[in-house]
Structures are given as C-alpha cells and as structure tokens.
Amino acid sequence: MNHLLRLHLVENAIDLQLLVRSGEIAYKSNVTIYDAIPVALAMLKKTKCVTADKETQYSKIKPKNYPIELL
C-alpha cells in the first residue's frame, strides 16, 4: 500500500460523458467497455492511454486512431 500511495494516483468519477465515449470506442473497436474506459478517459483528459495489453486492447483500438500507446 505504501508503494501505491507514493504514486499519487488520482481517481476519476465515471459519468455519462465517460460512459458514452467508452461505449463508442468499445463498439467501433470491438473491445469490452473495460478496455475502452481508459482510452475514453485519456481522450477526455487530452492525453494518451498507455497499455501493455497488445492483443486485446492496443491492436484493436490503435487502428481506429484513438489515443493509445503500447508500453
């Protein structure tokens, strides 16, 4: 827990805007809503989602030009 606390992580509430964007990404990229949420959050925050999930997240979402990068 001490290591996690030192990361200074910030929580973001799940709201309608995030869910709508996540649903759009999930549908267009053929991924789960769980894979789409971090990408949608990155879009809303105007940054990139960094993932190590090459097969089920990155390879399906990146070709659709969403802001995702492979770790």
User: Alpha helix locations (H) across 1-71?
Assistant: 2-6, 16-29, 33-45, 59-61
Higher pLDDT, 35 or 2: 35
Higher pLDDT, 4 or 49: 49
User: Which of 6-10, 14-18, 22-26, 31-35 is least confident?
Assistant: 6-10
CA gyration radius, the chain: 13
Residue 10's pLDDT is 85
Assign 30 a pLDDT band (cuts: 50, 70, 90).
very high
* C-alpha to C-alpha distance for 27 and 33, rounded to whole angstroms: 9
What is the Cα 25 distance to its own chain's centre? 9
> pTM for the whole thing?
0.87
Query: What is the residue extent of each domain of the chain?
Result: 10-70
Whether residue 40 contacts residue 27, with contact meaning beta carbons closer than 8 Å, is answered with no
